[in-house]
């Protein structure tokens, strides 16, 4: 089908969805002509850092009527969280939290010792059986969420060149922008290459650019790919041999979707390939948020050499003060290996079913997922084949808000700390991230909305109804519905 070319735009200034994004506090480009945003000028010396993708999208959804009291009227395929309710064959979720008197005190900034011991024991049993070097509680720091863990690590890194990939997790943009001693060095992962992490290129960059830190998610958010087996072994060996610090966000380490029955229940971690836990420069960030499906608990951990944990205790003392004490105690039995085995099996079967369901429905809409996810609970959807103007993530997102559905525009995964790029030039511009984390009925509600938008856009003359009439606030006039 031919697309109506008169609706094609090449610059963000010509797109209403992009102008709304730029007008939001902290999102102004620093390389394009500047405008004064009064929301950023109210307090002297304050510079808005810009919100992560999920926060911006939630704010825009609220401007269109979304609220957490009306959450069931909406399909949230944007939130980077798994469903938290009971799923088939999973252990029962805790219904009450004991709070002994001592838990009402502050916890140590490195975390409760018994929980640190439980984390070390689980990793040794899962990934390090038969290895001489074993994790102890001294290799574990408990933190109040993954972002806190990344921030603590970033706060103790010196003036270094830091490698990151595009696309990757949205919070890395804020981390690299806030901690000025980290000089970001980007590498673009290519769709035609399956978003493969190119070890040869990384090795060359270490040699020619003096990289000292590599930061990456694995399994990879948002593309759903995973570095594993020999490739992961080679990456750890590269860090060890070049004395380059490797920071791996492993929050999706259980979300692996095998084809063979005997492979269910297995997970991945760089911990399997570390030689010496106190000398290999590998930092692992993980926690209860995704694998245990407890995002509201904010109980996570950083693992690495002992001297790193000492430094993280110090940075935690001025960054966040430590994780919730009662919830740390409540987390200890959740790390029991027998319980963890059941959690992994139920999670992988349930989320594999949801992944296959969403991919099948997208195929029915003729929305091709060129690189299907092998891990995580995300689908990196290329909109390039749709008619303009909904062939870019921001406009597609705004149109779906009219249908009470939330997705995340791809530009939020273009880690671009200086915000200098014309958004239409971003390699992530024509993508959205769909989450199949929510329950199946919510997924179908959102997929129905996507089908309506796509069908209307493909009609002759349909594109003229898109790309405009977006609500800037809950008080602004409601746009006319396009499907009357």
Q: Under 8 Å CB-to-CB from 131, ≥6 apart: which residues?
A: none
* CA–CA distance, 401 with 395 (Å, rounded to integer): 10
**Residue 484 has what pLDDT?**
40
Q: Under 8 Å CB-to-CB from 96, ≥6 apart: which residues?
A: none
**Residue 5 has what pLDDT?**
41
Q: Under 8 Å CB-to-CB from 59, ≥6 apart: which residues?
A: 24, 51
**Residue 414 has what pLDDT?**
87
User: CA separation (Å) from 296 to 86, 206, 289, 305?
Assistant: 15, 38, 7, 28
* CA–CA distance, 295 with 299 (Å, rounded to integer): 8
Q: What are the beta bridge partners of residue 185?
A: 163
16-80+377-465 CATH: 3.90.1150
- Give the pair of three-digit tokens for residue 363: 């195929």
Contact (Cβ atoms closer than 8 angstroms) between residue 396 and residue 244: no
How many Å separate Cα 166 from the centre of its chain?
12
- Give the pair of three-digit tokens for residue 477: 């006039």
- Give the pair of three-digit tokens for residue 135: 């994790």
**Residue 89 has what pLDDT?**
97
Residues in the chain: 484
Looking at the domain covering 103-342, what would its CATH class be?
Answer: alpha beta
* CA–CA distance, 148 with 480 (Å, rounded to integer): 42
Q: Which run of H or of E encompasses 471?
A: none
Closest CA to 252 of 274, 271, 225, 233: 225
* CA–CA distance, 56 with 66 (Å, rounded to integer): 13
pTM: 0.89
Domains of the chain by residue range: 16-80+377-465, 103-342
**Residue 153 has what pLDDT?**
95
Contact (Cβ atoms closer than 8 angstroms) between residue 244 and residue 238: yes
Q: Please report, in angstroms and rounded to a whole number, the separation of the first and last CA atoms in the chain.
A: 23
Other beta carbons within 10 Å of 4 = 15
* CA–CA distance, 89 with 478 (Å, rounded to integer): 44
Q: What are the beta bridge partners of residue 286?
A: 301
Residue 62, CA atoms < 13 Å, CB-side half-sphere? 9
**Residue 450 has what pLDDT?**
98
Q: Which run of H or of E encompasses 46?
A: none
* CA–CA distance, 429 with 79 (Å, rounded to integer): 19
* CA–CA distance, 353 with 88 (Å, rounded to integer): 12
Closest CA to 331 of 118, 101, 103: 118
User: CA separation (Å) from 172 to 148, 182, 235, 349, 428?
Assistant: 12, 11, 20, 30, 15
Buried b (16+ CB within 10 A) or exposed e, 332-345: eebbeeeebeebbb
Residue 287, CA atoms < 13 Å, CB-side half-sphere? 27
pLDDT along the chain (484 residues), means of 10: 50 81 70 51 62 79 86 89 96 94 97 98 98 98 95 92 88 77 87 92 92 95 96 98 96 96 97 98 98 97 97 95 97 98 98 98 95 98 95 95 95 75 85 96 97 94 85 63 47
Contact (Cβ atoms closer than 8 angstroms) between residue 211 and residue 244: yes
Contact (Cβ atoms closer than 8 angstroms) between residue 61 and residue 400: no
pLDDT tens, 119-130? 999 999 999 999
**Residue 3 has what pLDDT?**
44
**Residue 9 has what pLDDT?**
65
Q: Which run of H or of E encompasses 161?
A: strand 160-166
Q: Whose structure tokens read 């790390």?
A: 335
Residue 70, CA atoms < 13 Å, CB-side half-sphere? 10
């Amino acid at each position: 089908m031919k697309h109506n070319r008169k609706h094609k735009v090449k610059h963000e200034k010509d797109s209403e969805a992009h102008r709304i994004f730029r007008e939001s506090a902290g999102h102004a480009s620093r390389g394009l002509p500047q405008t004064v945003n009064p929301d950023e000028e109210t307090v002297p010396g304050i510079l808005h850092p810009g919100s992560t993708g999920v926060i911006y999208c939630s704010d825009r959804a609220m401007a269109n009527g979304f609220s957490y009291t009306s959450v069931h009227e909406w399909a949230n395929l944007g939130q980077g969280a798994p469903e938290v309710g009971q799923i088939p064959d999973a252990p029962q979720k805790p219904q009450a939290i004991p709070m002994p008197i001592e838990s009402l005190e502050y916890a140590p900034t490195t975390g409760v010792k018994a929980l640190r011991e439980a984390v070390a024991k689980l990793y040794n049993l899962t990934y390090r059986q038969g290895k001489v070097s074993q994790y102890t509680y001294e290799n574990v720091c408990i933190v109040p969420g993954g972002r806190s863990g990344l921030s603590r690590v970033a706060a103790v890194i010196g003036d270094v060149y830091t490698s990151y990939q595009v696309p990757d997790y949205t919070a890395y943009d804020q981390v690299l922008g806030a901690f000025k001693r980290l000089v970001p060095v980007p590498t673009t992962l290519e769709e035609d290459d399956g978003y493969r992490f190119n070890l040869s290129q990384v090795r060359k960059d270490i040699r020619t650019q003096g990289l000292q830190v590599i930061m990456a998610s694995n399994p990879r958010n948002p593309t759903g790919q995973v570095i594993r087996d020999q490739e992961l072994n080679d990456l750890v060996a590269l860090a060890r041999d070049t004395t380059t610090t490797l920071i791996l966000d492993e929050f999706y380490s259980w979300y692996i979707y095998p084809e063979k029955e005997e492979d269910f229940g297995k997970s991945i971690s760089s911990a399997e390939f570390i030689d010496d836990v106190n000398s290999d420069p590998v930092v692992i960030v993980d926690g209860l948020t995704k694998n245990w499906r407890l995002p509201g608990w904010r109980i996570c951990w950083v693992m690495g050499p002992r001297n790193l944990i000492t430094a993280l205790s110090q940075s935690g003392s001025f960054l966040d003060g430590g994780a919730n004490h009662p919830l740390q105690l409540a987390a200890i039995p959740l790390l029991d290996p027998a319980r963890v085995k059941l959690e992994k099996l139920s999670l992988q079967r349930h989320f594999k079913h949801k992944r296959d369901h969403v991919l099948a429905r997208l195929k029915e809409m003729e929305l091709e997922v060129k690189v299907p996810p092998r891990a995580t609970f995300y689908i990196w959807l290329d909109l390039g084949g749709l008619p303009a103007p909904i062939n870019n993530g921001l406009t597609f997102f705004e149109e779906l808000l009219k249908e009470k559905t939330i997705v995340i525009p791809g530009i939020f995964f273009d880690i671009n700390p200086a915000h200098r790029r014309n958004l239409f030039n971003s390699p992530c511009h024509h993508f959205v991230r769909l989450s199949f984390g929510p329950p199946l009925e919510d997924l179908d509600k959102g997929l129905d909305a996507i089908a309506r938008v796509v069908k209307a856009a493909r009609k002759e003359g349909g594109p003229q109804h898109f790309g405009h009439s977006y609500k800037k606030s809950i008080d602004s006039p409601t746009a006319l519905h396009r499907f009357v």
